[in-house]
Structure 1
Amino acid sequence: MTLSMIVAIDQNNGIGKGDDQLAYISADLKRFKALTTGYTILMGRKTFEALPKGALPKRRNVVITRQAGYEAPGADVVHSLDEALAICEGDEKVFVIGGGEIYKTFLTQTQELYLTVIEHSFEEATVFFPELNRNEWLLEQQEGPFTDEKTQLRYMYQNLRRK
């Protein structure tokens, strides 16, 4: 199994405000869908609850929560990191999609990062991606910068692999 993370970060590693993401960039959302469709996505309870229509289609959804008896329609629910890794053991690729605590917990086991780096600092950010030691990662591909027509935000894509 390849453990991957996919995330949009601002210049301060901000990824969210409260239970919402910082920015909605149409091309980034399409990239997320294209990369994750057909694979398993792993997320925390708050990330699952922030999905506007619940479980994402054409993907196996796995939700990690400490809440006993929690139900997530259309998703498998687990209560620990070990349980999450065990349930995904036979999967080809698993994308960790948030939130902040889940990224922090899985980062040491992650082999691939799919970053959308937004050239902006969101002062309202309350949730952050963990600090990366760039010496541990190899930049395999970079695209951009691009500018989102609707928000005018500049961003680029970076695909990194653990050395």
Structure 2
Amino acid sequence: MLTIIAAASENNALGKDNQLLWHLPEDFKRFKTLTSGHYIIMGRKTFESFPKPLPNRTHIIITRQHDYQAPEGCIVVPSLEKAMELCPAYEEAFVIGGGEIYQQALDVVDKIDVTRVHTIIDADTFFPEIDTTKWKLVFEEFHPKDEKHAFDFTFLTYVRS
């Protein structure tokens, strides 16, 4: 099973200047819980936004750069299709960004786990629109802002309908 996982604002903003737009510890915790022990597929820019590879995950990095040098243990491929071929068929794998990779993956994934951050924010990278005629909402959990979270947010899970 292939799942998109993302955090996007009300206007589908994902990031700006290759940086996240918010700090939401509960979202990070959920991301870690869901993706640990699994393959994670990402574009090169998303990978380069991390200080180092994320622990306990197999990284597949999509790039058009033929000579891209990734750290040991990371896999480099030229396309989403090649990335999908490398993921074990019997377990869940996650597409973790960025915007261009999400757009490519939207038609082939089985599930979308999105944290909807309840704000409108300036960005240069955006999440694709979720067509609710093709996707069914199966889980929703609202979290109000608090001392650790500057914004209200909702965990949403969609499956292909």
Q: Same fold (TM over 0.5)?
A: yes
Q: 1:70 to 1:148 in 2, by over 3 A?
A: farther
Report the residue type matching 1:157 in the other structure: F
Q: Deviations over 1:82-140 (max 9, x none)?
A: 21121125351110000000000111001111110011001x21100111111111111
* Unmatched 5+ stretches in structure 1: none
TM-score, normalisation: structure 2:
0.94
Which structure 2 residue ranges, 5 or more long, are not aligned? none
Structure 1 counterpart of 2:92: 93
- TM-score, with structure 1 as normaliser: 0.93
The answer on 1:30 being equivalent to 2:29 is yes
In structure 2, relative to structure 1, the CA distance for the partners of 1:148 and 1:101 (3 Å cut) is farther
Give the 3-state SS of the residue equivalent to 2:54 in structure 1: coil
Q: Could you tell me whether the CA contact under 8 Å between 2:36 and 2:56 is conserved in 1? A: yes
Q: Is 2:101 the counterpart of 1:102?
A: yes
Between Structure 1 and Structure 2, the one with more helix by share is: 1
**1:57/1:130 Cα in 2 relative to 1: closer, same or farther (>3 Å)?**
same
Equivalence map 1:1-163=2 (5 Å): 2-52=1-51, 54-73=52-71, 74-90=73-89, 92-122=91-121, 124-163=122-161
What is the SS of the residue equivalent to 1:34?
Answer: helix
Over aligned residues, Cα RMSD in angstroms? 1.2
Amino acid across the alignment from 2:6: V
Q: Is the 8 Å Cα contact of residues 15 and 124 (structure 2) preserved in structure 1?
A: yes
User: In 2 relative to 1, CA 17–24 (structure 1 residues): closer, same or farther, beyond 3 Å?
Assistant: same
Taking the aligned partners of 2:150 and 2:79, their CA distance within structure 1 comes to 39
Question: What is the percentage of aligned positions where both structures have the same residue?
Answer: 41
Contact 2:25 / 2:149 at 8 angstroms: preserved in 1? no
Structure 1 residues 148, 4: closer, same or farther in 2, change over 3 A? farther
Q: Give the Cα–Cα distance (whole angstroms) in 1 for the partners of residues 115 and 132 of structure 2.
A: 16
Distance, in Å, in 2 between the alignment partners of 1:42 and 1:92 is 14
**Separation in 1, partners of 2:88, 2:26:** 31
